[in-house]
Amino acid sequence: SAVISQKPSRDICQRGTSLTIQCQVDSQVTMMFWYRQQPGQSLTLIATANQGSEATYESGFVIDKFPISRPNLTFSTLTVSNMSPEDSSIYLCSVGDSLRGTEAFFGQGTRLTVV
Amino acid sequence: ILNVEQSPQSLHVQEGDSTNFTCSFPSSNFYALHWYRWETAKSPEALFVMTLNGDEKKKGRISATLNTKEGYSYLYIKGSQPEDSATYLCAASNSGYSTLTFGKGTMLLVSP
């Protein structure tokens, strides 16, 4: 199992600004995942963050908009850049070496509102 | 990306009622089906991970079944309690993808 501390838990931001979300895991993990849930939509994978290499982004998500850092095996950040109201969502980090066949562990989520 | 559908979108039941939700997913190249429970302001919590056709798993009053041939899973809650109120997410993966695809969830409200 893994315990993930995610912060901030919520924020209200002005459009055009950026917000960095942090996730700290209580154990070393190979892969960390960042998800977004827009209102009324599914939890959608933004990118996979591996330590020591660039993050792998899913279709529709780009590094300039969602830069990710993974400086070590217990920590990662996601930045939501140049925010617009469409970025208002819940952002979640998750860990697991094999998300397919074993359970995933999640942070508490960051509820972002862009005004 | 897989197409994972959940129904109903929301459900309101009385304490003591039993209820069930459905998750449908593509049956081709199926690998695993996950169920998570997500309470407001908390982390999603894994309920079940199932991989075999015909799998049935149980945790207290909650149980789940899996049919990989027809591509669906049911989650059952027996004797619902107010503390069962949460959003229930299912997620599927197949052998072609190394990550999970989530449905939109079923929001359950149990009234005392």
CB B73 within 8 A of CB B35: yes
Q: How far is B1 from chain A (nearest CA, A)?
A: 9
Q: Rounded to an integer, what distance in angstroms lies between the CA atom of residue A104 and that of residue B28?
A: 23
Q: How far is B14 from chain A (nearest CA, A)?
A: 24
What confidence score (pLDDT) does residue B99 get?
79
For the purposes of burial, counting CB atoms within 10 Å of the CB of B106, is it exposed (0-12), middle (13-18) or buried (19 or more)?
buried
What confidence score (pLDDT) does residue B94 get?
78
- More confident site: B80 or B32: B80
Q: Does the CB of B40 have a partner CB in chain A at under 8 Å?
A: no
Q: Rounded to an integer, what distance in angstroms lies between the CA atom of residue B2 and that of residue A113?
A: 28
pLDDT interval class at A99 (50, 70, 90): low
Q: How far is B89 from chain A (nearest CA, A)?
A: 9
Percent of chain B at pLDDT exceeding 90? 81
Residue of B nearest to A39 (CA): B104
Instruction: Check pLDDT > 90 for residue A14.
Output: yes
What confidence score (pLDDT) does residue A102 get?
78
pLDDT interval class at B80 (50, 70, 90): very high
- When scoring B99, B101, B106, B107 by the number of chain A Cβ atoms within 10 A, the one with the most, hence best to mutate, is B99
Instruction: Check pLDDT > 70 for residue B85.
Output: yes
pLDDT interval class at A45 (50, 70, 90): very high
Residue of A nearest to B95 (CA): A100
Q: Rounded to an integer, what distance in angstroms lies between the CA atom of residue B65 and that of residue B76?
A: 9
